[in-house]
Structure 1
Amino acid sequence: MNSVVQYTSHDQYAIVSIVNGKANAISHQVIEGLNKSLDIAEKEQKVVILTGQPGIFSAGFDLKVMKESPESAKELVTKGSELSLRMLRFPRPIIVACNGHAIAKGAFLLLSADYRIGVEGDYKVGLNEVQIGMTMHHAGVAIAKSRLSEVYLNRSVSNSEIFEPKAAVQAGFLDLIVSEKELLATAKSIAESFAKLHLKAHAETKLKVRKKHLLKIKKAIAKDLKSNIVINP
């Protein structure tokens, strides 16, 4: 797709890889590459496996862009929220093969997928926005409410609690934990299973199940567009 997002098509699924430096930061270029990848996967009617680099799925938004100005932060966060909304209503299953750390927008991508596989190890998963001084945006709250366990919602969003992989399953960020060497093979196996789903039935049922949350996320994005992203010193 571009230099930071790679797309590889297979018989029943497509592998989309984020490759953007040490932190695998979510930049404008990454979001553009992910959207183009989803365009192709939708046209080819492929299950999507979204993955990162060894040890890191993504540490979140590109901090250089976020710190540039309130306007630049707002633009990037809005594009990220729109990507999550698209993923949540994507007509084919999206599996995340989470290679390791998934922080901030990296964790939100987990919450935007249909099935999430993490790896064993000393890895961190969670929403650290409040910890680093960012008041959580409306869409972030709405996305978190749509997928996180009620017990873990405040711990994750308001308190910025970060979890190791097994606890991340309990919280609702992940569905399964495997060893690093089993990650991609497990994702491929699940993708092949999901490929047997009836395309139209899956797409229509997903929208029914998520209808309430999709509407709330869409309204939350509109709210964020009318306000500034607040990053406290």
Structure 2
Amino acid sequence: MITVEKQDGAHIITMDDGKVNALNKDKLDALVAALADCAGDFGPAVIRGRKGIFSAGFDLKGFAAGPETATAQLQAGKDAILAILRHPAPVVTVAEGHAYPMGAFLMLAADRAIGTEGEFVTGMNESAIGMALPIYPMILGAARLNSTGRKAVATAQLFSPQQAREVGYFDDIAAPEDVEPLLAKVLSELQKVNPAAFNANKSAMNAQLIADIEASPLPEF
């Protein structure tokens, strides 16, 4: 489900379970492990999903399986966000489709997030499906979204790709046929950044955000 390949100096991490990339503990742990394996050099790490859907979010079966499984799944999501925020090289996310909550969280944690034009939506819809978000995506959203995006967390508004860029989920939007050229351009730019300076500046910029997320409690089930 999680594959990694080296391509022109970048590490391409692909999530593809053949379905909707619902993220459970095992998949999120595999994503964290893939990032750790990529940390040995300054090659940017690219996290991408399937065409049509980046991720449908957390696996709801995990929440229905009991308190222990639900808590472990939420902790794995927290660990994945922290792994991106701490990664010593740039992390780029590429959504060629829908990005629902946990998928949207990965976008918010990335150093550069690319979306694709189309009939796709991105955002946090927990209020619509009767769930309360854990604290850590709230902290991440407060740091990365504008006021419209922050208010939408409570109202469950989902955003088109262009709207998602405006509120802060994406940094760039491309037509489907332009995703690969845009990604190549972004990676080329990132590979010219001084590795030590990047790591120092990213670490400093994310230090308080990481501390706040680490300290945030998980919900009790």
TM-score, normalised to structure 2, is 0.95
Residue 182 (structure 1) shift: 1.6
Q: 1:84 aligns with which of 81, 88, 110?
A: 81
- 2:132 is the counterpart of 1:135: yes
The correspondence of residues 21-100 of structure 1 with structure 2, limited to 5 A, is 21-100=18-97
- After superposing on structure 2, the runs of 4+ consecutive aligned residues of structure 1 that deviate more than 6 Å are none
Amino acid corresponding to residue 186 of structure 1 in structure 2: L
SS in 1 for 2:143: helix
Does the CA-based 8 Å contact 1:49-1:187 persist in structure 2? no
Does the CA-based 8 Å contact 1:125-1:162 persist in structure 2? yes
Residue 44 (structure 1) shift: 3.2
Does the CA-based 8 Å contact 2:32-2:79 persist in structure 1? no
Q: Which residue of 2 aligns with 1:210?
A: 206
SS in 1 for 2:12: strand
Cα offsets for 1:148-170 (capped at 9, x unmatched):
11332022x21111000000011
Q: Which residue of 1 aligns with 2:194?
A: 198
- 2:220 is the counterpart of 1:228: yes
Does the CA-based 8 Å contact 1:129-1:135 persist in structure 2? yes
- 2:5 is the counterpart of 1:13: no
Q: 1:111 aligns with which of 99, 108, 116?
A: 108
- Cα separation, 1, equivalents of 2:126 and 2:67: 15
Cα offsets for 1:117-141 (capped at 9, x unmatched):
1111100100112211111111121
- Cα separation, 2, equivalents of 1:184 and 1:73: 36
Q: Which residue of 2 aligns with 1:169?
A: 165
- Cα separation, 2, equivalents of 1:41 and 1:63: 29
- Cα separation, 2, equivalents of 1:35 and 1:147: 21
Residue 147 (structure 1) shift: 0.8
SS in 2 for 1:158: helix
List alignment gaps of at least 5 residues for structure 2: none
TM-score, normalised to structure 1, is 0.91
- Cα separation, 1, equivalents of 2:57 and 2:159: 15
Q: Which residue of 2 aligns with 1:180?
A: 176
- Cα separation, 2, equivalents of 1:35 and 1:82: 7
- Cα separation, 2, equivalents of 1:97 and 1:140: 19
Q: Percent identity?
A: 28
Residue 53 (structure 1) shift: 0.6
Residue 40 (structure 1) shift: 1.8
CA RMSD in angstroms, aligned pairs only: 1.3
Does the CA-based 8 Å contact 1:71-1:228 persist in structure 2? no
